[in-house]
Structure formats: C-alpha cells, structure tokens
Amino acid sequence: MLTERSARIATARKLTRRSGRDDAGAFLAEGRQAVSEALAEAQDDPGAVLELFVTEAAAAAHRDLLAAARVPVHVATDRAVASLSETVTPQGLVAVCALRDVPAETLVTDPPRLAVALAELADPGNAGTVLRTADACGARTVVFGAGSADPYNGKVVRSSAGSLFHVDVVRSAPLAELVPQVQAAGMTVLAADGGGEVALDAAAHDGLLAAPVLWLFGNEARGLDPALAALADARVRIPMRGRAESLNLSVAASICLYATQLAP
C-alpha cells in the first residue's frame, strides 16, 4: 500500500500546482463524478487517464468503477490520497489525467456552433461553473484567455462536475488576436457587458445569437477590458427589471448561453 512518502504519491502531489501540471502534462481529477467522466473519455482516448489512486474504503465503495478501469489502480493510505486532494473532506478517489488542451487555431479552422472565451476570469469556482454551463448549453469549446484561472486547478475541475471532459479547452489564448481571426472565419463575437448597447432579448430577435457564436466574458470585478469588448460584433447586456446592480458572472454566462442555445 502506498503512503504519503511513496515516490508515486510524491510525483502526483506535484500536480496540485500549476507548474507541476504544466511540466508533467497532467492534472488531478477527484471524486466519483470526475473520475467516472475521465474514464468514459478514456474509452475513446486510452491516454486520457494515466493512473488512479484510491483508499481501501473508496475501493470498496466504487468496485464497479474500478473494475471497468483500464489503467493502473494504486491503493494508498487515507493520508496519502488526502495529500492529493484540495477539499476539506476528500472522497478517497483520484485520477491522474492528461491535459486536454487544443490549439486556439481550431476555432478558426473548424468554428464550433457555440464557444465561450473567458478574459481574466479569476475565480476557479466561477470558471468551473461556466465550463459546466457551456457543456449543458452545447458549447464545444471554452477558451481560457491569458490571465484567467487554470482550467486544471482542482477547484475548477470539481466545479465543472465532469464537464471538463466534454468540451475542448484552450488555455492562455491571446484573445485580442483571436477575436478578429474567428470573426474572419465566420463567427459572431458577442461581449457580455452590463453597459452594452444591445439587450439580450433584442440580440435574439435580430439574429445575433444565430450560430456560430463566441461569447466573451470578463473578470468578476472589472468586467471586460474596453479594448477587447470593442472588438466584438456587439456588446450585449442582460435586461434587469429589479434593483440589483449586477449579476454574478457565472449566472450572467448561464443566461447568455441558454438564450443562445435556443436560437436557430
């Protein structure tokens, strides 16, 4: 049984840091939901999951999942597996997965029906929630612009509830360069902006939400950089009838993406 001092555990523990993930080309996915989705991905891509770490209790609780795994499964002590976790109550089940980045150029060479770009979005919980919402609304690609949270951060992976394995991920993209390129490829770029000149319902009525669409969402506190927002085909606001000054970024993204999936 592996302990927290085992070399294999020590190597995996480096993946809790971004530098370690980048160096190894791998990240950690914790808990049954994330591990299940990772193993499902591995059915089509055998290199998607590299190995699993599990406690004795978790091995007993997830026999069905582990029995179907086609990767090495290592039983480790509770402390060893907990050292790979960033949660208060670890679930005792962690997968080491290969990074899933795709080049930003894929949006230009093969524009998706719906894509999302995050500009300096800082909060990992928001990032994971947007990933999950994008997946639910049929987006194929989520772009994490330069300065945004790392999509392979443990909290992002947990918050995405497995959706990280359902969408293409682009990391550290220079959005100011990418936006004109995807526009030239035929995508409509919409900037979510509380002060936008176009209301979301009007955008739907006028056909702005018709595919293919790339939504830009900015920083939780500062919103989108004005220079980046100016590159969009339109700056779109969500009409609010009440007295709230603004919406949480992930909530605003959910409304915009849901409205877009209803468009023809």
Round to whole Å and give the CA distance between 62 and 253. 34
* Domains and their CATH numbers in the chain: 7-98 (3.30.1330.30), 106-262 (3.40.1280.10)
Would you give per-residue pLDDT tens digits along the chain (264 residues)?
A: 999 999 999 999 999 999 999 999 999 999 999 999 999 999 999 999 999 999 999 999 999 999 989 999 999 999 999 999 988 889 999 999 999 999 999 999 999 999 999 999 999 999 999 999 999 999 999 999 999 999 999 999 999 999 999 999 999 999 999 999 999 999 999 999 999 999 999 999 999 999 999 999 999 999 999 999 999 999 999 999 898 888 999 999 999 999 999 997
pLDDT at 162: 95
Round to whole Å and give the CA distance between 181 and 52. 40
List, in sequence order, every residue forming a beta bridge with 141; answer none if it has no partner: 115, 168
Q: What is the dihedral of CA 165, 167, 170, 176, to 10 degrees?
A: -150
Residue tagged 């360069």 (tokens): 177
pLDDT at 76: 98
pLDDT at 245: 83
| Phi, psi for 254 (deg, rounded to 5) | -60, -45
pLDDT at 34: 95
Q: Within 62-214, where are the H helices?
A: 63-67, 78-82, 106-109, 124-136, 154-159, 175-184, 200-205
